[in-house]
């Protein structure tokens, strides 16, 4: 039993790091974490807290974020338009967003990425509850 657990642990250490370089699947299609693969328009699909999913609220219908390859983003959140710049840190799997209209930086942790799906979590040390909220987006168009 202990030998089996040790073998599984060793497999996890050696196999999973290479899988972590890729982001999680959508119909078993892994997508490399890159500016190219993130650069598209993403429509808010749902929010997920633990195992419960919630559709966008009435004021969130139509919300989106568009990541441009020139590192510019535009978004609508709760009906309010915003724009600014963004950066990708592949190593930490984070997107850093700087709005033209607000001070500071918004940081997202990338939990999943496929051609059709992007799942983000807000990285905010001042609000520990944000780590439980997964924001699901679906790709707009056929990219």
Q: Looking at the chain, how many residues does it have?
A: 143
Is 23:33 a contact under the CB 8 Å cutoff?
Answer: yes
Q: What is the CATH number of domain 2-139?
A: 2.40.128.280
Q: Average pLDDT of 108-114?
A: 96
Sketch the domain layout of the chain as residue ranges: 2-139
Split at pLDDT 50, 70, 90, the class of 21 is very low
Q: Which of 6-10, 21-25, 35-39, 110-114 has the lowest mean pLDDT?
A: 6-10
Reference 68, options 92, 99, 42; nearest CA is 42
d(CA 109, CA 34): 14
Q: Structure tokens of 59?
A: 């004021």
On the 0-12 / 13-18 / 19+ scale of CB atoms within 10 A, 47 is: middle
**pLDDT digits 0-9 by tens, 7-18:** 333 333 333 333
Q: Average pLDDT of 56-76?
A: 97
Split at pLDDT 50, 70, 90, the class of 74 is very high
């Amino acid at each position: 039993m202990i030998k089996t657990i040790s073998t599984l642990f060793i497999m996890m250490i050696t196999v999973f790091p290479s899988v972590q370089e890729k982001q999680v699947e959508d119909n078993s299609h892994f997508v490399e974490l890159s500016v190219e693969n993130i650069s598209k328009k993403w429509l808010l699909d749902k929010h997920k807290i633990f195992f419960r999913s919630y559709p966008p609220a009435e004021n969130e219908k139509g919300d989106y974020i568009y990541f441009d390859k020139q590192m510019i983003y535009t978004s609508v959140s709760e009906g309010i338009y915003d724009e600014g710049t963004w950066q990708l840190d592949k190593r930490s799997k984070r997107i850093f967003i700087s709005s033209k209209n607000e001070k500071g930086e918004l940081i997202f942790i990338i939990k999943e990425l496929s051609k059709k799906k992007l799942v983000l979590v807000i990285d905010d040390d001042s609000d520990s509850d944000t780590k439980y909220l997964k924001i699901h987006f679906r790709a707009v168009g056929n990219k």
